[in-house]
Structure 1
Amino acid sequence: MRVEDGFQPIPFSEENAYTEDPVLPSLLKRVLPASVFQEVNSDLARLGLDVVTTIRALSDSAKCFPPTLVQYDQWGRRVDDLQTSEGWRELKALSQREGLPAIFYERKYKEHSRVYGFSKMLLMVGDSNEIFCPMSMSDGTARVIELFGTEEMKKDVFPRLISRDPKVAFTSGQWMTERPGGSDVSLTETTATSSGKSSKYGPQYTLNGFKWFSSATDSEVSVALARTGSLQEGSRGLSLFLVPLRLPLIRALTDPVPSPISNNILVHRLKNKIGTHILPTAELSIDGAEAYLVGELGKGVKSITPVLNITRLWSAVGSAGYLRKCLAIATSYAKQRSIRSGTVLLKDAPAHVEQLASVNVLYRALAHLAFGVVGLLGKVECKCATEDELRRLRMLTPVAKAYAAEKASVGMEEAMCALGGAGYMEENGFGRSIRDALVEKIWEGTVVVLALDLTRFAQDPASIKAFVSWANSIIGSCPFALQQKLSPTLAIVKKAIEELPSCFSQPLKPLIPRPALMLVGAIASSVYLLEHTIWAYNTSEPTKDLDIEVFQRWVREGGVEADIQTVIRAKTDSGERVNLNSALVFGGRGKSKL
């Protein structure tokens, strides 16, 4: 039989990524003022159609041409010519034309600008080939310059980082990771020596060192940590610098592009990664690069913190966005694929729909968590946040990043399996989405690293009090009739909240940080879902009954009770589990009381 003969599967087709999304339109209707929602709603509907047509087609073509590095020309001269595809460059330009990250700094919609801009990112990220890695760092660098930069940085560099015009726009890298430390920057080897000169951008330094993991190597600038104090000072001896990748930094559009090594930055090699293949990630030798101090000397970690916080939220929304795409594919497939001799569509098979429903509930929980924290960032940047909201943003930023990355990857695999063997085919996009999304579990901090970050902050009683007060206030705002209906589910959330403060009390149990982070994520996502449910109930939204069901399923079936038990076990462990863990992993008999 020829392939053209016999049964022909009907290809599924996705509809508008925004208007068919189970979360975003309703979420935005709740959190945005009516006038703002009306304006951005039409723009997002336009983008939602572009995502499944032109953007996806561009992404599919771009993936075929990963970056390459030509280190030497035919005469043996070092050139470090980093070659990226036209598709990669067009994806970058498309993002800039869409207003990422411009929307955040134009602040047309004031504190709601962050929610609007990240809505675009959520829709696009699954078909972006990780272009939002440099966009996120450009966003973070823009914020650092806005807060700490010199007037000339604000005049020359800042407008380019937030430009909608790809011809003049800059992107930025962020260079922290070195061989001795990974996420731990206290052993940073790169040094910064004052040149004794004062450039137009401020105090000029010379950088020497090796950055082991530098994404966005094709950017125009980067922010980098370098040591201005002694090694014994650890992270307290670090300062932050703005580094041009080529000199001169500012030039006319008609001027020739300077040599890639004009600022003494050499590309040692490109990284061979599991995913994000089209993203040029490299190891860099810095051999006397010109750089400019940003912020105070010796305050590098504090100065770069806005970059980390912003990129972590890009990561959180990115995880939810990758899950969105996978769920959309699986849902569309269920509307086309028939079973039982072609008599029943998958969408009418209860067991199959049950599987999709669990992924749908997960996506809703992660999206509400991520955008809840994004909304806090918008308030803080526009100086309209309360002190408690500021504390909650600081507490939930590492949580949203870690929790979304941890949960989304499982949901993506479930969505892939919903297509059976067809899901395992590279053409449908599952493979690239899952590989690219896995980096979110590592980039800008693993779950354990972020759990330790949360623990440091949450040990301040004012911080945990701000979070608990917020959670209880949302529960308290639940109308009596709805509260009666949700009583068993609310009891679980209240139990989780009760367990939380003692997680961070001294002496801190050694196994508590990770379970505590997961519990905070479970509580926060549940409370944000509850907040949405209360709104839908009070305004008699058509989806109110479904929103009630989503909240109840997430709390009862999403693992909240298991998170409570894991925290209790970590609190009560006498050290026996620590000892047995070591024996399990590294060998030995262990010392059990059994």
Structure 2
Amino acid sequence: MDTFFQTPPVIENTFLNDPLLKGLIKSHFSEHKDQTKIETQFTVWGDLAATEWLQLAHLASKQPPVLISYDPWGNRIDHIQTSAEWKQLEAIAAKEGVVARAYSREYGEKSRIEQMSLLYLYHSSSAVFSCPLAMTDGAARVLEKMGQTPEQKNAFKHLTSRDPKSFWTSGQWMTEKTGGSDVSLSQTEARTTADGHALYGMKWFTSATTSQISMALGRTENAKSAAELSLFFVPLRNEKGALNNILIHRLKDKMGTHALPTAELTLNGTPAQMIGPEGQGVKTIATILNITRIYNSICSISQARRALDYLQSYSKSRFAFGRVIAEQPLHKKLLNDLENQFTRLFNLTFYSVSLLGKEEAGTISDVEKKTLRLITPVTKLYTAKKSYEIISECIEGFGGAGYIEDTGLPALLRDMMAMVIWEGTTNVLSLDLLRSIKDPGTFEILNDKFKQSKNLDCQTRWQKYAKEIQADPIQGQACARDLAYLTAQLYSESPF
């Protein structure tokens, strides 16, 4: 008779059981008058992430959104119905200030450290509600810097509110059928109207489609080239609550992130207001991308941390070949190797976060500003790829149990694939690194950083790549990916 039942892995307080996060908070806030208050708050969040938030995330993931195209009387309504748990996770994000904390700047240049540390705890227990929060934060930053109209200033207040009843989220509509990386192929037209502009075109991949506003790229009649796109502020609904000349065709049937509504839609004269200079939308939207890419990095390492926590817990209770597997030499080495890899990702990510915080607080140096430009795409691509590898190893560590859907483990890997692709694939971001070091000052910063490395192989490879890139900028692109990985490894060598 079969009487054996394996003890399942258990997630416990995700702050108290995370030495790296505890060390980060202590090192940055040890001299702050509110140190005890801050650590107490993180302890509360760590408990919620292991209990209430996690349970809500499980339930939300089992109830994917549904598109209701028509009401019972045949009227086109295009209503996206999400679960009650998804809405609760949104309310929690608002109440805890997952976005708002970055804009109150209570801790000056360290405000982003506090806010992103909260996001790190929240993400893996949010059913990926962190995705609309990323775009919301990016939109808030653009509106804070460039918002001019009463509608834009009002939106900023909603995006940064801690009141769930008044909190808004924002979408980010760039991808069209022609693709998402080469935005010069975008076909959306922005026609001038008496009140601003009206957008006409199809957006092929729009996440957070239930948001109140979105940022979108479009081409005006005055554009002199395909690359001259402008950025627009788009309210999704009118005063009556109906969609603003927006038709939602279908929800995407995705590999993962099943609780997150992602849609295909057509803009058919959608009212919009331009943000920033006409024809410079790609440059303007870079403000959003800097934030969303760092969000992506935080969410990637959060996901990897969750997989590691599951495997560490399982390894202490799974018995094989005469002992628990945590005591088996080869498995023990695997766990140590994975934790060491994770530490490097954690250091790299929060280094980028610290630079973003300094930039927003106005305390960043010229060298740090250029470093932030080059390290942001590198951090995003590296943390995503390496977190995917860590999660894959963790799932393998469960053996056959890791392949069983209702353990929740396969979803970790599927959802992680979104982080690898979103906000730039590895190749796209590697080429972005090359663009950043076209600036002579940025090139010299990276050159000096490699010279300071004690790894001679690292220096030799950098010299080889730099020579190839300078000799032939087009063919030199072939080494961009290797250079991006090398740069990430360089900046992750030690805690910042």
TM-score (ref. length: structure 2): 0.95
The 1-side partners of 2:165 and 2:13 are apart by 30
Letter matched to residue 131 of structure 1: F
State the distance in 1 between where 2:121 and 2:429 align. Answer: 26
With 138-147 and 497-506 compared, the bigger mean Cα shift is at 497-506
Larger deviation: 507-516 or 105-114?
507-516
Match of 2:126 among 125, 128, 143: 128
Aligned position for 1:73: 71
- Does the 8 A contact of 2:9 with 2:311 survive in 1? no
Residue correspondence of structure 1 range 262-411 to structure 2 within 5 A: 263-340=244-321, 343-411=322-390
In structure 2, what is the Cα distance between the partners aligned to 1:498 and 1:107?
A: 41
Distance 1:72 1:296, change over 3 A: same
One-letter amino acid matched to 2:94: Q
The equivalent position to 2:183 in structure 1, one of 161, 176, 185, is 185
AA aligned to 1:296 is: P
Q: Which among 515, 525, 531 is matched to residue 482 of structure 2?
A: 515
In 2: Cα distance, 1:25 partner to 1:428 partner = 28
Q: How does 1:440-519 map to 2 (within 5 A)?
A: 440-470=419-449, 490-495=455-460, 498-499=463-464, 501-502=466-467, 504-508=469-473, 509-519=476-486
Q: Which amino acid aligns with 1:18?
A: F
1:208 corresponds, among 187, 200, 208, to 200
Distance 2:468 2:306 in 1: 35
Aligned residue number for residue 8 of structure 2: 11
**In 1, Cα distance between equivalents of 2:50 and 2:171:** 29
Matched with 2:231 is 240
Deviation at 1:507, TM superposition (A): 1.7
**SS at structure 2 position matched to 1:23:** helix
**In structure 2, distance between residues paired with 1:388 and 1:191:** 39
What amino acid is aligned across from residue 245 of structure 2 in structure 1? N
What is the letter of the counterpart of residue 243 of structure 1? V
Q: Using the TM superposition, give the Cα deviation of residue 101 of structure 1 relative to its aligned residue in structure 2, in angstroms.
A: 0.4
Conservation of the 8 A alpha-carbon contact between 2:15 and 2:42: yes
Distance 2:383 2:329 in 1: 27
Deviation at 1:112, TM superposition (A): 0.6
Indicate if the aligned counterparts of 1:22 and 1:364 stay in contact, CA closer than 8 A.
Answer: no
For 2:172, the aligned partner's letter is Q
User: Residue 162 of structure 2 is aligned with which of 159, 164, 168?
Assistant: 164
* C-alpha deviation, 1:289, in angstroms: 0.9
- Correspondence 1:258 to 2:241: yes
Q: What is the CA-CA distance between 1:502 and the residue it aligns to?
A: 3.2
Q: State the distance in 1 between where 2:61 and 2:374 align.
A: 36
Query: 2:137 aligned with 1:139, yes or no?
Result: yes
Q: Is the 8 A contact 2:391 2:413 kept in 1?
A: yes
One-letter code aligned to 1:295: G
In angstroms, what is the RMSD of aligned CA positions?
A: 1.9
Query: Match of 2:478, SS?
Result: coil
What do the CA deviations read for 1:204-241 (whole angstroms, capped 9, x no partner)? 211111111110000000011111146760122x1111
Q: Could you report, residue by residue, the CA deviation over 1:169-211 in whole angstroms, capped at 9, with x for unpaired residues?
A: 11000011111232111021111111123xxxxxx21111111
Query: Is 2:384–2:419's contact at 8 Å kept on the other side of the alignment?
Result: yes
Pick closer, same or farther for the CA change 1:52–1:428 going to 2, 3 Å. farther
Q: Is the 8 A contact 1:100 1:162 kept in 2?
A: no
Matches of 2:442 and 2:36 in 1, distance apart? 36
Kept in 1: contact 2:431–2:477 (CA 8 A): no
Q: Are 2:22 and 1:25 aligned?
A: yes
> What letter is aligned with 1:258?
G
Q: Answer whether contact 1:275 1:435 (CA < 8 A) is retained.
A: yes
- Provide the residue aligned with 1:568 in structure 2: none
Task: Report the Cα distance in structure 2 between the residues aligned to 1:33 and 1:500, rounded to whole angstroms.
Answer: 42
Conserved in 1, the CA contact under 8 Å of 2:152 and 2:233? Answer: no
Alignment partner of 2:492: what SS?
A: helix
d(CA) in 2 for partners of 1:43, 1:511? 47
Deviation at 1:75, TM superposition (A): 2.8
Residue of structure 2 aligned with 1:524, choices 488, 491, 496: 491
| Alpha carbons 1:145, 1:153 under 8 Å: kept | no
**Amino acid across the alignment from 1:517:** A
- Distance across 1 between alignment mates of 2:4 and 2:167: 51
Matching residue within 34, 41, 44 for 1:43 = 41
CA contact (8 A) 1:14 1:52 kept: yes
Q: How far does residue 471 in structure 1 lie from its aligned partner after superposition?
A: 5.9
Q: Unaligned stretches of 5+ in structure 2? A: none
- Which residue of 90, 93, 112 corresponds with 2:91? 93
Check whether the contact 1:464–1:501 (CA below 8 A) recurs between aligned residues. no
Deviation of the 1:415 alpha carbon: 0.8
Distance 1:37 1:392 in 2: 29
Matched, 1:438 2:435: no
CA contact (8 A) 1:178 1:212 kept: yes
**Pairwise CA distance, 1:335:** 1.4
Which protein has the larger Cα radius of gyration, Structure 1 or Structure 2?
1
Specify the SS of the correspondent of 1:34: coil
The separation in 1 between residues aligned to 2:221 and 2:166, in whole angstroms, is 36
Q: Secondary structure at the match of 2:124?
A: helix
In 1, Cα distance between equivalents of 2:35 and 2:177: 46
Q: 1:223 aligns with which of 211, 215, 230?
A: 215
8 Å Cα contact 1:402-1:446 kept in structure 2: yes
- C-alpha separation between the residues in 2 aligned to 1:43 and 1:286? 43
Q: Could you tell me the percent identity over the aligned residues? A: 38
Amino acid of the residue matched to residue 448 of structure 1?
N
Asked if the contact 2:458/2:486 (under 8 Å) is kept, the reply is: no
Cα distance in 2 between the residues matched to 1:74 and 1:380: 52
Shift in CA distance, 503/46, structure 1 to aligned 2, threshold 3 Å: farther
Cα separation, 2, equivalents of 1:163 and 1:373: 25
C-alpha contact (below 8 Å) 1:27/1:368 kept by paired residues: no
Q: Is the 8 A contact 2:191 2:221 kept in 1?
A: no
Q: Secondary structure at the match of 1:234?
A: coil
What do residues 443-470 of structure 1 show as CA deviations (whole Å, max 9, x unaligned)? 1111111111111111222102123435
Q: More deviation in 71-80 or 362-371?
A: 71-80
Per-residue CA deviation, residues 263-304 of structure 1 (Å, 9 max, x unaligned), is: 111101111111111110001111111111111111211111
**Residue 304 to residue 324, structure 1, CA distance change in 2 (3 Å):** same
Q: Distance in 2 between matches of 1:56 and 1:503?
A: 48
**Would you say the 8 A contact 2:223–2:279 is kept in 1?**
no
Q: Runs of at least 4 residues of structure 1 off by over 6 A?
A: none
Q: Which residue identity is paired with 1:323?
A: A
